[in-house]
Amino acid sequence: MPLAASELLDPMPETKSYFVRRLKRCKIDIESFATPLSVCTMEGCQGMCCYDGVCLDEDEERYIAAVVRAHPKHFEEVGVTPENAFEDALFLDVETRKTATKPCTYKKRVGFPEHFEKASCVFRHKDGRCSLQGLAMEHGEHPWAYKPMSCWLHPISLERDGRTIIWLPRIETDHLREEGYPGYAPYTHCGRECAGGVPAYKALKDELKTLGAIVGRDVYGEIKAAVKAMKS
């Protein structure tokens, strides 16, 4: 039987315990989830959100390395091995580990941001598909069974100003903005505000429901009710 949404982090117990503890009763920035977004499509984004790889905790790196080690033929197409899949990095001035990157050029039609590096996570196929997600689907698993949590949650963020909060960064509020780098999530296809789009909580329904299932909280239902109350 494939993992249920509530079980996605079960292979990484330390990670699951950490997020359940943080998110069970944390604040939600309701207003940010009223932001209009377009529903993400592979044709439209080509996986641009994967351009810099993703930060991992120790539990996630161990798990993903084990997945790669167990299925070497699957990852031959993207050239990934347990030895080259990860790299050291700095994130918000903190030393961390992340999935490695490789040079990449995106098609003009996707509107790749000028301040993003022309790079790609090593797990990303040329057309934008994720090889970790592809393997899970081949196995009849939940599509996000092997993916880092930050990947499937994007563009949702779980921290702001050193505090735990479930929110959606916008251009004017993005916590990753700095001199020479305008920001990250609001410039990706699935995080970019879109006139005429659908409210973010609807566009990100699967992500919010999955997050809620993991931590034992109706995150989507809370946001939906609160946004409707705002409009009444």
pLDDT tens figures, 107-143: 887 889 999 999 999 999 999 999 999 999 999 999 9
Is beta strand 94-99 parallel, antiparallel or unpaired with respect to 101-103?
Answer: unpaired
Q: Who has greater pLDDT, 91 or 80?
A: 80
Q: Angle at which helices 205-215 and 13-23 pack, to 10 degrees?
A: 100
pLDDT at 119: 96
Whether 92 has a pLDDT exceeding 90, the answer reads: no
Q: How far apart are the first and last CA of the chain?
A: 43
Could you tell me the pTM of the whole model?
Answer: 0.94
Whether 100 has a pLDDT exceeding 90, the answer reads: yes
Band (pLDDT 50/70/90 cuts) for residue 213 is very high
Whether 153 has a pLDDT exceeding 90, the answer reads: yes
Show the beta-strand stretches assigned E in the chain.
Answer: 27-28, 36-37, 55-56, 86-91, 94-99, 101-103, 119-121, 157-160, 163-167, 198-199
Q: How far apart are CA 46 and CA 100, in angstroms?
A: 18
pLDDT at 44: 82
Q: Residue 202 phi/psi, 5° resolution? A: -80, -45
Distance of CA 99 to CAs 1, 51, 58, 217, 229, Å?
28, 11, 12, 29, 40
> CA angle 79-84-89, nearest 5°?
130
**Mean pLDDT estimate for the chain:** 94
Percent of the chain with pLDDT over 90: 84
Whether 1 has a pLDDT exceeding 80, the answer reads: no
Average pLDDT value for residue range 5-16: 94
Average pLDDT value for residue range 195-207: 95
Average pLDDT value for residue range 209-214: 98
pLDDT at 107: 85
pLDDT at 230: 87
pLDDT at 11: 94
Band (pLDDT 50/70/90 cuts) for residue 41 is confident
Whether 45 has a pLDDT exceeding 90, the answer reads: no
Average pLDDT value for residue range 227-231: 87
pLDDT at 39: 85
Band (pLDDT 50/70/90 cuts) for residue 42 is confident
Band (pLDDT 50/70/90 cuts) for residue 29 is very high
- Tokens at 201, concatenated: 């909580």
Least confident of 58-67, 103-112, 148-157: 103-112
